[in-house]
Chains A and B, each alone.
Chain A
Amino acid sequence: MDNKGPVQKTVVLEPFIKLVRLLARAFYDDYTTKSDNQPRTARSDNRGIAVVVLDELTRKQWVREEDLAKELKLHAKQLRKIIRHFEEQNLIMRDHRKETAKGAKMYSVAVAATTGGRAEDKVKFHTHSYCCLNYPQIYDIVRYKLHRMKKKLKDELEDRNTVQEYGCPNCQRKYNALDALRLISMEDDAFHCENCNSELVVECNKLTSEEVADGDDNARKRRREKLRDMLQKMEVQIKPLMDQINRVKDLPVPDFGSLIAWEARAAIAARENGELNPNDPLRSQGGYGSTPMPFLGETKVEVNLGEGKEDVKSNGGDSSLKVLPPWMIKQGMNLTEEQRGEMRQEAKVDVGSSKLSDDKKSAMEGGDEKDLLKDEYFKAYYAALIQQQQELAQKQREEETGGEVGAPDNELASTSPNRQVGMKSKREEEEDVEWEEEAPPVAVGGNGNYKVDLNVEAEASGGEEEEEEDIDWEEG
């Protein structure tokens, strides 16, 4: 499962939104859905509508087109036309699918996760279209558009790469330079019409074809003047757009992925945020362990647990990626415990250690404002817990030192070897330095603490020798 997390967290969307807004105003502000032959009254004049649509899309990620139409108070047909136009321009990704209740639910969950709001609930089972701005593509499209514009004007200005056209003044037949071989006549140097054999004249090019210039210098000069003017004007007008492109150049591009990927990601994000979402389809599928999805979630929890330990060891790499809300671990571990009924003791140990590591972890990254409150609570809770356990351990140690060494009737002591083994192996894994830091409270208190913990479980197993070792170590 890719755990990239919601895109907007790592990628700054703002410059791209600005880019889109500039783009809309530069190129689409006179876009109209009306065809040209219809009379344009003031009322039906809907120029600028494309800008409105694009602006609205910058505020969304994937959006159902019906919802969009409703929000913009546009007719769905009209909106579809505009959207199709943008799709042709490669600015927008679209997805059509036949909606089932589940699909609609997925979408509404995703919307709820990304916007915090709630999507419309009553959905009919129709084919629905979704659209989304395709930011990576938009960046390229804008650059390409500008490049083409400039190149066209420049080429025109320098007469470059244009195949010269010729026209017959008599019969209006048109030729171009590719016909040159057939047109050249042997008598004089000029080109002659194949039809009427009259001399052909040079036609001037497309952008400024008002007057048919006969290639004389004045007309040519005027035309060049005009083109240069145009180029300059364009440079000035697209300057903000160019600036924005340059600003955006080195930024990571926000990419929402396909509709399905986006929905899945949003759902995961929602669950990670701890929002108890009754609409969550992954969750409402049944009890934990019965369906593959929660099971997947569980395995992820275990993996993250290991990473969490590493995290503690390395003392703060990028912990942001590995943040796991405590409730999740708890659930996962509960699940494990239930699953392996006979290995309850081990599971419990794991819970304890995971709690510990989690505690450290949460202490390390206190900056997470979302879980701050929760963290505070847990910190207080764990602190209290540890204190209590330490007290218990103290008491127990007193008992131990006071009474017989390794008394078999003492349940605390008999359970201790297990813990001891666990602790030892853990200590081997971890770096010595780390242990040094934590050593005084944990080595003593922690040891006792788990005895107590296991004592509650009241499950005893373990060899006498290990017990002896344990005590030796404690004493020496």
Chain B
Amino acid sequence: MFFHIVLERNMQLHPRFFGRNLRENLVSKLMKDVEGTCSGRHGFVVAITGIESVGKGLIRDGTAFVTFPVKYQCVVFRPFKGEILEAVVTLVNKMGFFAEAGPVQIFVSKHLIPDDMEFQAGDMPNYTTSDGSVKIQKECEVRLKIIGTRVDATEIFCVGTIKDDFLGVINDPAAAA
């Protein structure tokens, strides 16, 4: 799920960036530092949408760096148990398959794939129904439900299922081609 929240961060800036463009430099550095990171608490920071405030800079002892407390608005993405996501399959093996929904990785184990889908080993490993109408392989898009999340300090990993109504393959570029 996406959230628009305000976060705070202490930015250290080298004196060579001081001057007329101090603020721009600060913001660009913040974007570089923060966007794409993941915190267990808030999830993945997708994008910074604005700066709330830049506090007074504090010169660090011993170094020339100056610390600015910056409050910024950002969009974060935090997956939850029970959430429905659309993801792209990245890897298929006999234990199940891995998929990615933006920054988050999701594993769907074999027993959470519908029973009528069988694993086909080979050049392009895939799960296929007995009549061959549905095929899950690398690069195809699936809709899945998250049934478990592991949230560490710096990463989030999810386990999903496609064994429910309206879940499964939604678009297969390989089949379309």
Give chain A's interface residues, CB within 8 Å of chain B: 158-164, 176-181, 184, 189-191, 202, 215
Contact = CB atoms under 8 A, between A and B. Distances in A.
A159 B93 contact: no
B39 interface: no
Contact of A184 (B93, B112, B147, B163): B93
B148 A177 contact: yes
Contacts of A191: 95
Contact of A181 (B107, B109, B121, B148): B107
A202 B107 CA distance: 15
Interface in B121-154: 121, 125, 147-150
A176 to B, nearest CB: 8
A232 to B, nearest CB: 20
Given A163-B147, A164-B109, A177 B159 contact: yes
A440 B72 CA distance: 88
A180 B94 contact: no
A159 B163 contact: yes
Given A189-B93, A189-B121, 18 more contacts: A159-B111, A160-B163, A160-B164, A161-B147, A164-B110, A164-B112, A164-B159, A177-B107, A177-B109, A178-B148, A178-B149, A178-B158, A180-B157, A181-B105, A181-B157, A190-B93, A191-B95, A202-B111
A177 B144 CA distance: 15
11 contacts: A159-B111, A160-B163, A161-B147, A162-B112, A162-B147, A164-B111, A179-B150, A180-B109, A180-B157, A190-B93, A190-B95
A119 B111 CA distance: 62
Interface string B151-177: 000000111010110000000000000
A170 B164 CA distance: 35
Nearest to A182: B157
Contact of B94 (A158, A162, A190): A190
Nearest to A185: B93
A66 B107 CA distance: 57
A100 to B, nearest CB: 52
Nearest to B147: A161
A180 B148 contact: no
Interface residues on B, range: 20 to 34
Contacts of A215: 110-111
Contacts of B159: 163-164, 176-178, 180
A191 B121 CA distance: 16
A51 to B, nearest CB: 38
B77 interface: no
A168 to B, nearest CB: 14
A180 B161 contact: no
A179 B110 CA distance: 15
Contacts of A189: 93-95, 121, 125
B98 interface: yes
Interface of B: 91, 93-96, 98, 105, 107, 109-112, 121, 125, 147-150, 157-159, 161, 163-164
Contacts of B125: 189
Given A160-B164, A164-B111, A189-B125, A180 B95 contact: yes
Q: Considering the complex of A and B, which 6 residue pairs feature the smallest CB-CB distances, nearest first?
A: A189-B93, A164-B109, A180-B107, A178-B150, A177-B159, A163-B148
Nearest to A160: B163
Contacts of B163: 158-160
Nearest to B151: A178
Nearest to B148: A163
Nearest to B159: A177
Nearest to B81: A161
Contacts of A202: 95, 110-111
Nearest to B95: A191
A180 B147 contact: no
A163 B121 CA distance: 24
B92 to A, nearest CB: 8
A311 B112 CA distance: 68
> Which of B91, B93, B125 counts the most A-chain CB atoms under 10 A from its CB?
B93
A14 B161 CA distance: 46
Nearest to B93: A189
Nearest to A164: B109
B119 to A, nearest CB: 9
A177 B107 CA distance: 7
Given A160-B163, A189-B93, A190-B94, A178 B157 contact: yes
A179 B96 CA distance: 13
Contacts of B105: 181
Nearest to B163: A160
A161 B161 CA distance: 7
Contacts of B107: 177-178, 180-181
B94 A159 contact: no
A182 to B, nearest CB: 9
A164 B110 CA distance: 9
Contacts of B111: 159, 162, 164, 202, 215
A406 to B, nearest CB: 90
B107, B121, B125, B149, most chain A CB atoms within 10 A:
B107
Q: A179, A180, A189, A215: which has the most chain B beta carbons within 10 Å?
A: A180
B102 to A, nearest CB: 16
A39 to B, nearest CB: 42
B98 A159 contact: no
A162 B159 CA distance: 9
